[in-house]
């Protein structure tokens, strides 16, 4: 299994490939043919940024049974889709800004799918051929605004409300991965992607029926139970087995 990171370097960042525990500068195109280039100097200090720059983040709500129960909502008959703008995306260690006027702001630890090919009207049976890999994402949510607005655009679309990373795990089966969310060392989410109501292939089929996804676009897969508040000074972490840990500080904003 490969892990693809993006380092802060130059205008658009530079890709790094982790293979068998060794880091290499990535050659080629992550959405086409790529290869391990020169090994990264062990003394070189790299700062990771969001592994992709999606044109859009397609988010799925209420996709774990326990979270639907937690929110006192019926299980959806089909995937519940909303959008987060590209401007919400940040990378590891970048601060989540919490506006004090927005009321209660909560974390939602999620697995996200990164598309590797243009996808339109894809069937579930064929869906995984269009996936580059998976990553960690926190769907930060201004809960009071979500209730007030009914629709989710404002509550989930603030700048910095989509931390993502630290890498894209390529070749990882997304169907049964342990997922956890931690705040200040306290575990708040603990589940497994085998508990998804709609698994990844079904989500891709559903979304691409009405929307074309481009390479680098992201589908988030919903959060398990355990959502809770974030306040300035907190540190939010999302952990997915095989991917790693996404960690972000929270600041007033």
Residues 6+ apart with CB under 8 A from 128: 200, 201
Q: What length does the chain have?
A: 253
pLDDT of residue 45: 87
Per-residue pLDDT tens for 43-52?
888 999 999 9
What is the pTM for the complete model shown? 0.96
Per-residue pLDDT tens for 154-165?
999 999 999 999
Q: Quick one: fold of 57-252?
A: Fumarylacetoacetate hydrolase; domain 2 (3.90.850)
Strands 244-252 and 96-98: parallel
3-state secondary structure labels for all residues of 114-165 = EECCCECCCCHHHHHHHEEEEEEEECCEEHHHHHHHCCCHHHHCCCCCEEEE
Q: Over range 146-151, report the average pLDDT.
A: 92
| Average pLDDT of the residues of the chain | 96
Q: Is the pLDDT of residue 68 over 80?
A: no
The domain locations on the chain are: 2-49, 57-252
Q: Over range 20-33, report the average pLDDT.
A: 97
pLDDT of residue 67: 81
Q: Is the pLDDT of residue 113 over 80?
A: yes
């Amino acid at each position: 299994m490969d892990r693809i990171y993006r380092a802060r370097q130059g205008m658009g960042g530079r890709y790094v490939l982790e293979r068998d525990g060794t880091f290499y500068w990535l050659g080629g195109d992550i959405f086409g043919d790529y290869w391990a280039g020169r090994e990264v100097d062990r003394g070189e200090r790299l700062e990771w940024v969001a592994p992709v720059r999606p044109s859009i983040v397609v988010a799925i709500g209420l996709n774990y049974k326990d979270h639907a129960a937690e929110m006192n909502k019926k299980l959806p008959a089909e995937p519940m889709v909303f959008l987060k703008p590209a401007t919400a995306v940040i990378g590891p260690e970048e601060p989540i800004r919490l506006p004090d006027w927005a009321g209660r702001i909560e974390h939602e630890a999620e697995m996200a799918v990164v598309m590797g090919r243009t996808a339109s009207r894809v069937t579930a049976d064929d869906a995984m051929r269009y996936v580059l890999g998976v990553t960690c994402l926190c769907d930060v949510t201004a809960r009071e605004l979500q209730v007030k607005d009914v629709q989710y655009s404002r509550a989930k679309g603030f700048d910095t409300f989509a931390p993502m990373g630290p890498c894209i795990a390529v070749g990882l089966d997304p169907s049964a991965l342990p997922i956890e969310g931690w705040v200040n060392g306290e575990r708040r989410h603990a589940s497994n992607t085998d508990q998804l109501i709609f698994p990844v292939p079904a989500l891709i089929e559903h979304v691409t029926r009405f929307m074309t996804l481009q390479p680098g676009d992201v589908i988030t897969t919903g959060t398990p139970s355990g959502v809770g508040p974030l306040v300035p000074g907190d540190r939010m972490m999302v952990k997915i087995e095989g991917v790693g840990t996404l960690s972000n500080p929270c600041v007033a904003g």
